[in-house]
Amino acid sequence: MEFRPSELVGALVVDSEGYIYGHVVKVDIKPEGPLFKVKSLKSVQEQVPDIDALRQTLLRDHKEKHGISNVQELYKFIANELKIQSLTENDLINYAKLKEVKMPMREVLREVEEEKPDIRLNDVEAMNRSDLGSCILVKNPIESTIRGIEPQKALPYQKEENLKGKHVIDNSAKILGKVHGILMSPEGLSIQVCKEIMVTKLVPDISQLKKRIFSEIRPKELVKHMESLGFEQPQDLTDDKIVAYAKMRGYEIPTNLVSNKTVFLYKSSVPWHQIRKIGDVVLLNKTLLELFVEEPKTEEPKPIEVYSKDLAQKPYSSSVQAREYPVPSQMGLGSFAYGTYIGTLLMIFVGLLPYIGALFSGGVAGYLVKDWKRGAAAGLLSGLLGTLAIAIILHLLLPIGLKDFLAVSLPSFILNATIEILYYATSEAFLYFQSLVNALMGFIGGLFLGFLKSR
C-alpha cells in the first residue's frame, strides 16, 4: 500500500520484538531520504506539595496559637494575613514558605513527551492502515534495545491476563484489534481477537411513546386493556410491554439514534505458532481474515426493525408469548372483527331508519377499525349482516304476538305506520333491495369515519 506523508502522522511505530517505539509526529523528506520524527509518552515520577497534609499541619499549628478549629476558619485567617479575598492552593504554599513551615511532599507519575531518534524509510518493514489506525513496523529491535530487553528466541506460552487487551498486528502492519482471550484445543493454544466498534442504532424513544399513549388512554384503562390482551402482570408497565402494546394497537414507534461501543470477535482464532512476537503488542506471522461475529456477552440497543422479533423471544409467560409482539395482520384482524360486531349490533337496533341507521352503524364500525380500507369493509358487513338479522328477528317475533304488543304500547296515530314498516321488513323486497342499500350506506359510513380516524 502507498500513503501520503500526512496520512502517516500519528501512526503507531512498533519494533521487531513487538515493543512500541512511539507515534509519528512528522514525516520529513530530506535529500538523503525520508525521515520519520517519532515521540513517545514517558512516565516521570516527581514530587509535588501534599496540599491535604499541609492543610492539616497548618490547622494543627493555628489551633494551638490562634484557637482555630476548622478549615474554613483557617482559610479566612490566612486570607486576612495575606490581605486577599480568596485562597488558592498556591497561596497556601506561599504562606507555608513565608511562615517557614516544613512542606510535606508526595510522589506522582506524570506523562511527558519524549523525542526519539528518527527512523529512516529503509528501516521500515511494513506500513498499513485499518479503521483502528495506522501502523509502521520497523526491522530492528530499537525499542527493546533501549529498554534492555533481550530478543526473544522462542515464544513461551503466556497467561490470558498477560495478553488480554494488547493490540494484535499482522505481518502487513495492519492493526486487527485486541486480544480478547485464549482458547485451547488438542492442537494447542490460540488467541481470540476482537474489535471494539462504535455502532449507531435506532432504538425506541420510550419517553415520546409513553406521552403519546397516555394522551389517548389513562394508565388504569391501559392496564385493563393489556390484561384483556393476555399480558402477564399488566400493572407493571415496563418499557418492553409499552412497546408491545403500541405495536398491537398499530402505533408508529418513535425512535432515537444511539451510539454504543460494541465488541466483535473474529470468527477465526490465531494458533500460537502463528504468533511471531509478544511485547507491548502481539505480532503475527499471517493476516487474519476480517470475518467476525458479535460477542454474545455484549448487550446493545437493537435496531427498531428487529425489535419486535427479539422481544418475542423474551416472553412474559408461555401462554402469551405469541401475542405479546403481534404481526400487523393479527392487530388488524382483531380491530376489524370488533368494529364489525359493534356495527352489526347497532344496525339491528337502528336499521329500520331508512339510510340513516345503516350510515350511522357503518360509521361506528369504521371508527373502531381506524383504517379506511378495513373500515369500509366493516361498514359494508355491518349493514348487510344487520339487515339480515332484522329480517330473521321479525320473522320470529311477528307470529308470536309482536303486533298485539305494539297495539297496546303505541299510540294509534303511529301504530299503522309502524306495522307497515315491520311487514315490509319481512318481505323479499326488504331482504334483497334494502340489504344492498344498507350495505352501501354502511360502506360509505365506514369508509369516511375510518379515513378520519386513521389520520
Higher-confidence position of 290 and 207: 207
The rounded distance, in Å, linking the Cα atoms of 395 and 424 is 11
Which letter does DSSP use for residue 319 in this model?
T
The rounded distance, in Å, linking the Cα atoms of 19 and 35 is 20
Asked if the model's pLDDT at residue 326 lies above 60, the reply is no
- Cell triple for 124: 521500515
Higher-confidence position of 434 and 71: 71
Tell me, what's the pLDDT at 305?
36
Asked if the model's pLDDT at residue 396 lies above 60, the reply is yes
- Mean pLDDT of all residues in 250-259: 81
Which letter does DSSP use for residue 285 in this model?
S
Tell me, what's the pLDDT at 431?
66
Tell me, what's the pLDDT at 319?
31
- Give the pLDDT band (50/70/90) at residue 455: low
Spatial contact of 169 and 130, defined as CB atoms under 8 Å apart? no
- Give the pLDDT band (50/70/90) at residue 303: very low
- Mean pLDDT of all residues in 259-279: 86
The rounded distance, in Å, linking the Cα atoms of 188 and 186 is 5
Asked if the model's pLDDT at residue 240 lies above 50, the reply is yes
Spans of all domains in the chain:
51-103, 206-253+296-326, 329-454
- Give the pLDDT band (50/70/90) at residue 80: confident
Give the CB-side neighbour count of residue 198, counting CA atoms within 13 A. Answer: 5
The winner for highest mean pLDDT among 151-165, 231-245, 279-293, 353-367 is 151-165
Tell me, what's the pLDDT at 443?
83
What element of type H or E holds 134?
Answer: strand 133-138
Q: How far apart are the first and last CA of the chain?
A: 57
- Mean pLDDT of all residues in 451-455: 67
- Mean pLDDT of all residues in 417-430: 68
The rounded distance, in Å, linking the Cα atoms of 102 and 86 is 23
Q: How far is CA 275 from the centre of its chain?
A: 37
The rounded distance, in Å, linking the Cα atoms of 279 and 264 is 24
The rounded distance, in Å, linking the Cα atoms of 59 and 65 is 10
Which letter does DSSP use for residue 312 in this model?
T
Backbone angles phi, psi at 157, to 5 degrees: -65, 150
The rounded distance, in Å, linking the Cα atoms of 26 and 8 is 8
Tell me, what's the pLDDT at 206?
82
- DSSP output for 372-424: HHHHHHHHHHHHHHHHHHHHHHHHHHGGGTHHHHHHHHS-HHHHHHHHHHHHH
- Give the pLDDT band (50/70/90) at residue 19: very high
- What are the C-alpha distances in Å from 359 to residues 59, 279, 356? 90, 83, 5
> 29-75: per-residue pLDDT in tens?
988 889 999 999 887 888 889 889 988 988 888 887 888 888 888 88
Which letter does DSSP use for residue 251 in this model?
P
Asked if the model's pLDDT at residue 219 lies above 70, the reply is yes
The rounded distance, in Å, linking the Cα atoms of 383 and 362 is 7
Nearest-5° Cα angle at 452, 449 to 455: 145
Spatial contact of 273 and 170, defined as CB atoms under 8 Å apart? no
- Give the pLDDT band (50/70/90) at residue 10: very high
Tell me, what's the pLDDT at 121?
92
- Give the pLDDT band (50/70/90) at residue 332: very low
> 94-142: per-residue pLDDT in tens?
888 888 888 999 888 887 888 999 999 999 999 999 888 999 999 999 9
Tell me which of 121-135, 155-169, 252-266, 389-403 is least confident.
389-403
